[in-house]
Structure 1
Amino acid sequence: MKKFLLLFLLLFLVLSCENTNVPFLETGMPSLEQECLPKTAPPVITPDNPKLSTEREPFTLTLCGDVFTGAEFAAAEVSYGKGYGFLQVSPYLRASDLSIVNLETAITERGSTKKRAGYAFRAKASTLSVLIDAGIDAVSIANNHVYDFGDEGLMDTLDALEQAGIPYTGAGINLEDAAKAVFLKTKGYTIGFLAFDQYIPWEAWSATESTPGVATFTREKYAYLLRRVTETAKECDYLVVSLHWGTEYTYKASAWEQEV
């Protein structure tokens, strides 16, 4: 599984993005920092300005990495009781105002896979209720396993999440659907959530304007991601962007990842 990076993009950093001529770095990628620098500094909470600190109650947001609810997870639930898989972490998830995870699996019992044995992930729709009980409010499905069982598996995943009432982003019936934002409400705040994946085994997994798949993130698609971030940030107080990327089994970000 790929490293799961979550970037917090505060609304005040993007409200001032009015320039349509996106500057580029030497590598040819537009710079979010250059494009979205605030024109004025954000207000500072001080003892002389207490109103800022009391206008709205603070909220807590818990962001987690890969979650897989496949056969081993289901077997443990049968042996030790429902909720066993989240026993140690669910108190923290439920205590948070909002909790988001990366659901690293297809939710399906259909479809076929091109992957070798042991590297294709799937789980039953019945396991989704455990996520809700654990306190998970939304999931990213922008990863290299949601499409393990092809179109059938992806469509089943989308249907299962819809039926379970779990908000999701990162894959869909086309690119527009895959890159749509989730908006969550808590304590008077609107929190936006977007998710993109850098690594997929085959390019055919990448959603297009007319085909289903994953919302992918590459050098060539950086401008599109930047545009979606800028547009979505205008609709919420805070924006969470999940980038599922990195080199497997390494612990150091690449030069490109650091640049982004």
Structure 2
Amino acid sequence: MTSSERKRILVANDDGIFSPGIKALALALRDLGDVTVVAPDVEQSAVGHGITIRRPLRFKHTASAGFGDIPAYRVDGTPADCVVMGVHLVGRPDILVSGINLGANLGNDLTHSGTVAAAIEGLAFGVPAIAFSQLSVASGEFDFSYGAAYAAKLTAEVLARGLPPRTLLNVNFPVGQPKGVRVTTLSDHRYEDELVHRQDPEGRDYYWVAGTPRAEYAGDSDYGAVQDGFVSVGPVRLELTYHDFIREVEDFIPAL
């Protein structure tokens, strides 16, 4: 394959450019094409699809992040900012790959996940996108060897086949060596929020938003797959219009 034929792969995340997950992912994709990393300079977990519009952004090459000969840049903004700047400053990629996130992104997590938001921003440019995440363990230790190897296989398939418009793949890895792969639906995984009230040393009130994860088990869902030790591959389409409800809304909305 000549340099002009090599695929261009843009890698982003929300855990930051120094995360071991993005390093494992980028290095695993080297043989598939020309990889470029553009990631936040600090952790941006759970920021959703925010973009920065009220201050300038910095885009700096970062040789110290450990990517070897892979060009890597850090941005002092959100995951979506990273994709915007990567596309405009590096060039339009053939695929956008986000992750590997330190922790799963299941069910309702997709509404606030910066990892998934980076993939969605890729869709806004018409670029096929995959978001990769890995289930965390209490010790906080991650082994990305299995996930990164599978990410390379799946990315190669998507590069060859493409994806439907406005469709991404949300992929979650279990802990340890996977038993196999399941194509899944979104679960009802969510966090039951709790507002913790405390006071600082000067007696001033402050609040800490905490949450307990909850989900109902279903074998065909993303939550069920990773709980059973399988890789979850969930096709997600960015289509917010509820088409089947349009006629009913037309029937009950009041006239001016």
Q: Same fold (TM over 0.5)?
A: no
User: So what's the TM-score if we normalise by structure 1?
Assistant: 0.28
Greater relative contact order, per chain length (Cα 8 Å cut-off, separation 6+)? 1
Higher strand share: 2
What's the TM-score, normalizing by structure 2?
Answer: 0.28
